[in-house]
Amino acid sequence: MMEAFGTAKKFFAEEVPEGDRRAFLKYIYSNASFFLSIMPMEYSLIDKNQQFVRMNNRGRQLEMHEILKVRLINNTTVTDINKRKKYFANWNDMVECLKDILMEGIDTDDKKSLLDIINVEEKEIVRPTKREPLNWAIVTIPEFLLIALGRYLQKEVSQLPAKLLEIFDTCLLKSITENTVDEFMCVLNKQLELLRNYFIFISRGNESYTLGKKLKTKQDDSDNGEDISGFIKDENYNMYKQPLIYLQSFLHVSTEPHHWLIRAFDRLSQENGPVNIFNFITQLETIDNELIGIRDLKPKCASDDFIEGNMTYGSISYYWFYRLDYELLKSWKKIPNGEKDPWEKLRNDENVKQLIKAFRFRRCNSIEHIDARNKEGQGLSKELLDSFGNLALISRAQNSKLNSSPPDGKKQIIIGTYAESLKMVRFIWGEQKIEDEGKDMFRLLREKVEKGINNTKTMDTTVTPQSVNTEVNL
């Protein structure tokens, strides 16, 4: 500090002419800002030093959505200061909702001097505490903004979150007007309302999903367990709430958000009154089937190439494993009339019951051979080991635990942890031959896929639960 003071004193004495000194001081006073970072009380001395080093070395980097907020709302075309404050508050609501971070409101008090800040009483300081997000959205802020942009422009826009600023510059900001800002913020606010009321949020630790989310306040920083979704609260709501969570969690892990969320937001926006949860489930399943033909999947189920022989190790898409697990979950919860029960021999197995009860959709990235590949030559060919019946999608972490264990060994490991693949559970506990399992699971998948695609051409999305097959009820 002494060196810094000496350097500043020398600078003013030697570099700034006497006539310019007052102007220079006024410039510094008017433009310099202080960033106050108050550490949580429980921070140790090491924590504080680490925080200081990070800020000193890198500064506080603005995220792209923070830069976009200023470019969009603080634009010279928005001349009404009250409107700006409202839009800034709306934007902060979005960040709070998607990231589960309580944003500070707009400070409407008169500007404080540095002396006021230094002399503030200790009791006025609200010290932050270490707090992990409790419920965050299934879509990131850049993704959410790009979805809103595409819906506002009513055309496809690039969905590359890393290019957020460039995309907005090209598509919106280069010819922006006050009406443009008003209209876009209206779309964004409505979209946030829909997300908060009709979609799932991920609970802490990725352990579960919740439906809907209320806006937090400084006085109340929890959800208090209250049901805050926006659906009609009738007898069907309690019946279909959990099925909707299963369906959205399946879509969340299997499909890029802009593919299905844009369509889901658009259909919800067409609702003239309260939303029926069963109809919304029907619409989401319709959207998923509509997307199959345009997904970059190999093979595409709408073509003649959708055959079991093509769904092999190294070529099959992750989507089919997620979709099959979704159909298996539906089959366990409610057996459709007239269809073969894929769980028929396992319904009384207590381990299977507990594994399915605790099952939830996770993002997985490793295709595992259920019966180990090292069995090649022991009565099992490479083609059979790499076939659809012997494959399951799990995480790399669980893959490393299961490693090359035989099916019985995998069974004990899964019982001690949790199941990431219902397909694997059914195969291991069912003790079927690989080729028979492959045929059974492919048949189930094909029936559901073809029925879904056909239904998208004729389905009435305003039907009531009493008028359709009950298979949608999980």
- What is the pLDDT at residue 459? 41
Give the mean pLDDT of 238-264.
95
Task: Among 31-35, 93-97, 256-260, 438-442, name the one with the lowest average pLDDT.
Answer: 31-35
Q: Per-residue confidence at 343, pLDDT binned at 50, 70, 90?
A: very high
pLDDT in tens, 143-158: 999 999 999 999 999 9
pLDDT at 238 over 50: yes
Of residues 98 and 453, which shows the higher confidence score?
Answer: 98
- What is the pLDDT at residue 467? 34
Backbone angles phi, psi at 110, to 5 degrees: -65, 150
Percent of the chain past pLDDT 70, that is, above it, reads: 78
Give the mean pLDDT of 7-25.
81
Contacts by residues 285-291 (CB-CB < 8 Å, ≥ 24 positions apart): 285/247, 285/452, 285/472, 286/452, 286/455, 286/456, 286/459, 286/461, 287/260, 287/263, 288/251, 288/255, 288/260, 288/452, 289/449, 289/452, 289/453, 289/455, 289/456, 290/263, 290/456, 291/255, 291/259, 291/260
The answer to whether 420 and 364 have CB atoms below 8 angstroms apart is yes
Amino acid, single-letter form, for residue 454 = N
Q: Per-residue confidence at 72, pLDDT binned at 50, 70, 90?
A: very high
Task: Among 184-188, 216-220, 465-469, name the one with the lowest average pLDDT.
Answer: 465-469
- What is the pLDDT at residue 376? 58
4-13, 237-246, 365-374 — which one is most confidently predicted on average? Answer: 237-246
Return d(Cα 238, Cα 235) in angstroms, integer: 6
- What is the pLDDT at residue 51? 78
pLDDT at 466 over 60: no
pLDDT in tens, 355-406: 999 999 999 999 999 987 666 556 688 899 999 999 999 999 898 888 878 8
pLDDT in tens, 314-337: 889 899 999 999 999 999 987 666
pLDDT in tens, 189-214: 999 999 999 999 998 765 689 999 87
Averaged confidence pLDDT in the chain: 82
